[in-house]
Amino acid sequence: MDGIPVRVLKPTTYMNRSGAALASLRGDPAFNAAKDLLILVDDFAIPTGTFRLRNEGSAGGHNGLKSIEGALQSQTYARLRIGVGPLPEGTGDWADYVLVNFDKEQVEQIEALMPEMVTAVDRWLRT
């Protein structure tokens, strides 16, 4: 991207086993998760139409991030958490919510957020 080498990995496992996708990176002695890795995840603990970019921190209950932390043995990696929440009242199981397609309003909120998220990722790449 603009002369910066970028590798995109998309896990082919269930979300709670996302750390397995990092096996090829962990084997590279030049790989440094603290500066070379940005994870993008949906998060129902963050309101739809918002996002949070942090360079380190806990998984905050997110099973995909827990798997990544287990694979890296570290919480020091960047993560862009894209809001898809809150869970609607009466939702007994979060999986029933996050595995369903977005409604029209949610799609519009995420699409409106895209330029700001792209800018944030671009800034992260350049640091």
Predicted confidence (pLDDT) per residue in 53-62, tens digit: 999 999 998 9
Which residues are bridge partners to 32 per DSSP? none
Q: Where are the beta strands (DSSP E) in 30-103?
A: 38-47, 51-54, 78-85
Distance set, CA 19 to CA 41, 48, 113 (Å): 13, 25, 27
| Termini Cα distance of the chain | 14
ω into 86 cis (within 30 of 0): yes
Please report which confidence band the pLDDT of residue 73 belongs to, taking 50, 70 and 90 as the band edges: very high
Place of tokens 């932390």: 69
Per residue in 85-94, pLDDT tens?
888 888 878 7
Does residue 47 surpass a pLDDT of 90? yes
Does residue 39 surpass a pLDDT of 80? yes
Where do runs of H (alpha helix) occur along the chain? 23-26, 33-36, 63-72, 94-98, 104-125
| φ, ψ at 11 (rounded to 5°) | -60, 145
pLDDT of residue 54: 96
Q: What is the mean pLDDT of the chain?
A: 91
